[in-house]
Amino acid sequence: MLRLTWVQPEDLIGHELRQAAQDGRDPSAIAARWRAAGGCDAPARSGASPEPASPYLRLLAEDLLDELAELPGELAATEPTDLDRIKDLCPDWPDRRPVHSRTAHGDGQAYRTRLEAAWLGRAAGCLLGKPVEKLPLRGIRLLAQAAGNWPLKTYFTAHGVPADLLTAYPWNRRSASNSLAENIDGMPEDDDLNYCLLNLLLLGRHGRAFTTADAARLWLDELPAGRAFTAERVAYRNLLSGLEPPHTARHRNPFREWIGALIRADVHGWTNPGDPAAAAEQAYRDATLTHTANGVYAAMFAAAVLATAATGSHDVHACLRTGLTVVPPGSRLARAVRHAVELAGAHDDFDTVVDELHATHSPTHHWVHAVPNTALIAAALTHADGDFTGSIRRAVSGGWDTDSVGATAGSVAGLLAGSPGALPHHWTAPLKNRLSTSVAEFDGTGFDTLAHLTHREATRP
């Protein structure tokens, strides 16, 4: 039986009920109607419930999703999605750099080398997190401890792990065959890398002045629907139904504040070295295809952090501070990041930091939500002081969306490291300078080539 994930109305309704409570709408009456009719909670970790709902429940779910969208919210003033209103709330919004100043950071072999380190760092961090994606925090710790790999020193392995532990905490189904240390053979496909490739295509075809509609058309041309998940899959469906951005981000899309826009932000930071404002605005136009409010802010934050790191003249703490200048300071995302940075500075043991973050966010947030995952990225980078190994192992060991947080932490730390040679060999060698992807013209491409293509877009007039 085919149970298409992330789009069935009976699965979306539980996520939308939780999202409504988070953004200041009162969903209690609608939740009561859903449960009285026999409706279930959203799947805890997967994208679809095991059995389809009855036709009646499915129709009811669709109606209730539309009713939830009409509920008045309390946070619109502090968490807008309109860019001008976002800027109005950000008193320290960075100044835009003159074009000659901005591109000067990106000239020459030195920046291509830095970009290759960023690509490799993103891939290695993603690969480290792939086998344990969806696993609870306890499972991640037990699997690594059983293999003698805690704190994480290298990629996960099944060697030495008791069978009963693997039964209790099975590796991610899609990744077990290509992401454990014993079977890595190049970088396997992952959406955290696919979107970077799509954004290279986007910039190549439309330049930095691309529109959200340009991004939508590119997705329909180049992104297989089965390679999109959560908010991206819903937006893709909405495009095929005839909706246009930004409505694609809002219509029956309970994932609009999840992590999907953040994982697409790297190229926007990499191609605007020294100009976090330009990077954030570029990320905004991409993000609003699929996300609103905190989902958009997470992408803008990541792009601004990366644009600052790309110059090689700032430490990780300055980069994170700059990232916060493009996020409304009263938003849930800004508060979560500030809290995470404070925790990382207050505790020597990172497990204590992680436990505090989970106690704060896990009771109310899905494991793919942007707020806790962005906070974890900031905490990992802060606690590791930007060191590459320290950053990716902390990010992944913190759980939640492990491959995505590992990828973003690795991208930032790779930029800060400055060159592929500065990244430990045991992280980069298994990648074999080869990336697998369903973004057709990039399958098998090397990270050195991707760095060259990214540099071309960073220095394009």
Provide the annotated binding site for Mg(2+).
401, 403-404
d(CA 360, CA 365): 9
The answer to whether the beta carbons of residues 14 and 27 sit under 8 Å apart is: no
d(CA 43, CA 226): 19
d(CA 351, CA 320): 21
Enumerate residues 6+ apart whose C-beta is below 8 A from 338: 324
Q: If you search the block for the tokens 């995505």, which residue do you land on?
A: 404
410-443 b/e with 16+ CB inside 10 Å = b?
bbbbbbbbbebeebeeebbebbebebbbebeebe
Residue 93, SS3 per DSSP: coil
- Annotated binding residues, written as ranges, equal 401, 403-404
The answer to whether the beta carbons of residues 238 and 247 sit under 8 Å apart is: yes
User: Whose CA is closest to 290, among 270, 271, 262?
Assistant: 262
